[in-house]
């Protein structure tokens, strides 16, 4: 298998000197109790002080004078207590990443997806860890997500949705879970397209089997917000769904059955103003799922070709600059 390392050169070709180093951003993640908001806040301090992030972490609030007193006392005290050991831990993590061929993309790096920063703000992941084709994060993305135990018809619809996105010029985005997610990843690469898997567990283990060939061909990217080696956690899976919703320009929810899974992805996408298309149009338990009372497009039953045509139509509508996504009422079938 080839070594899937990312280039440190930004996709747009500009210098990345202003971005935090991998070791520095990992050091912030190692500070106990600082959380995502705290990481973003300290990054802001570094920008306003025009000081390297490592220096801000190492010297602590005593070096900041009046500026420090105007900021959160909690974050300053936390850095003062843990900054030195966090820098050492961050440097160690950076070495582990380099040895494993995993790239860390800090939130202030030019290649970090602007769509993610804009949609999530303080809740944007502090960094993205990845293996594969980094440039895919700069391409238009459409998501296909859904249940983990689909029947054959639902699995076929997931494949049709992925194919529609590929034929529309989109990278297919999903969460790597069994069932609909993996069906979408596979269908995207079979159709000659590319795919991104946002995984809830840390990278560093075996390459996901459903991405192996596409990674070798340079048409896939495995991404995680978790530190390498971290195991699956429910919270990480929920947060991963928010990231998918923020990155995608359009979301297809196929065979949903879990409130905190693909249903959450669809509802979050709606909050971001993304078009959401749902299949099946009238499941027996629709009344218990808020997604079916929201302004979504219900994909029709019938041959996959109808699903492909509907998704292509709404992808084109979502592409029109300055045009709001047209809605024909809550849950109306197109």
Q: What pTM did the predictor assign?
A: 0.87
| Two tokens, residue 95 | 């070495």
Coil, strand, or helix at residue 283?
coil
Alpha helices for 288-333 (secondary structure H):
304-319
* pLDDT tens per residue across all 334 residues of the chain: 333 333 333 333 333 334 578 999 999 999 888 888 888 888 888 888 888 888 888 876 665 655 555 556 677 778 888 888 999 999 998 998 999 999 999 998 999 999 999 999 989 999 999 999 999 999 999 999 999 999 999 999 999 999 999 999 999 999 999 999 999 999 999 999 999 999 999 998 888 899 999 999 999 999 999 988 888 888 888 899 999 999 999 999 999 986 668 999 999 999 999 999 999 998 888 888 889 999 999 998 888 899 999 999 999 998 754 444 333 333 333 2
53 with 43: CB under 8 angstroms? Answer: yes
CA–CA dist 183, 179 (Å, integer): 6
Which residue pairs, CB below 8 angstroms and at least 24 apart, start in 320-325? Answer: 325/273, 325/274, 325/275
The confidence score (pLDDT) of residue 187 equals: 97
The confidence score (pLDDT) of residue 179 equals: 95
Nearest Cα residue to 161 out of 324, 329, 297: 297
CA–CA dist 236, 221 (Å, integer): 18
| Two tokens, residue 159 | 């494949």
| Two tokens, residue 262 | 């693909």
């Amino acid at each position: 298998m080839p070594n899937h390392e990312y280039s440190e050169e930004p996709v747009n070709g500009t210098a990345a000197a202003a971005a935090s180093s991998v070791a520095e951003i990992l050091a912030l993640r190692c500070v106990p109790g600082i959380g995502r908001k705290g990481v973003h806040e300290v990054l802001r301090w570094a920008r306003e002080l025009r000081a390297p992030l490592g220096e801000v972490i190492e010297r602590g609030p005593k070096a900041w004078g009046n500026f420090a007193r105007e900021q959160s006392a909690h974050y300053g005290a936390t850095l003062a207590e843990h900054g030195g050991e966090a820098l050492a831990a961050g440097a160690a993590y950076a070495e582990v990443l380099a040895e494993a061929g995993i790239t860390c993309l800090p939130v202030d790096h030019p290649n970090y997806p602007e769509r993610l920063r804009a949609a999530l703000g303080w809740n944007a992941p502090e960094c993205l860890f990845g293996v594969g084709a980094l440039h895919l994060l700069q391409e238009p993305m459409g998501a296909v997500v859904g249940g983990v135990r689909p029947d054959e018809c639902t699995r076929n619809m997931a494949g049709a949705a992925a194919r529609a996105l590929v034929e529309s010029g989109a990278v297919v985005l999903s969460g790597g879970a069994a069932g609909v997610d993996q069906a979408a990843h596979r269908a995207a690469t079979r159709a000659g397209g590319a795919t991104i898997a946002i995984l809830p567990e840390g990278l560093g283990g075996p390459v996901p089997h459903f991405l192996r060939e596409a990674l070798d061909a340079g048409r896939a990217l495995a991404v995680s917000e978790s530190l390498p080696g971290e195991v699956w956690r429910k919270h990480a899976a929920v947060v991963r769904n928010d990231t998918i919703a923020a990155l995608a320009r359009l979301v297809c929810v196929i065979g949903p059955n879990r409130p905190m899974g693909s249903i959450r992805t669809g509802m979050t996408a709606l909050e971001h103003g993304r078009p959401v298309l749902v299949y099946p149009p009238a499941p027996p338990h629709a009344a218990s799922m808020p997604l079916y009372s929201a302004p979504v497009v219900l994909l029709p039953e019938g041959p996959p070709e109808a699903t492909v045509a509907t998704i292509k139509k709404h992808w084109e509508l979502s592409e029109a600059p300055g045009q709001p996504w047209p809605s024909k009422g809550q849950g109306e079938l197109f």
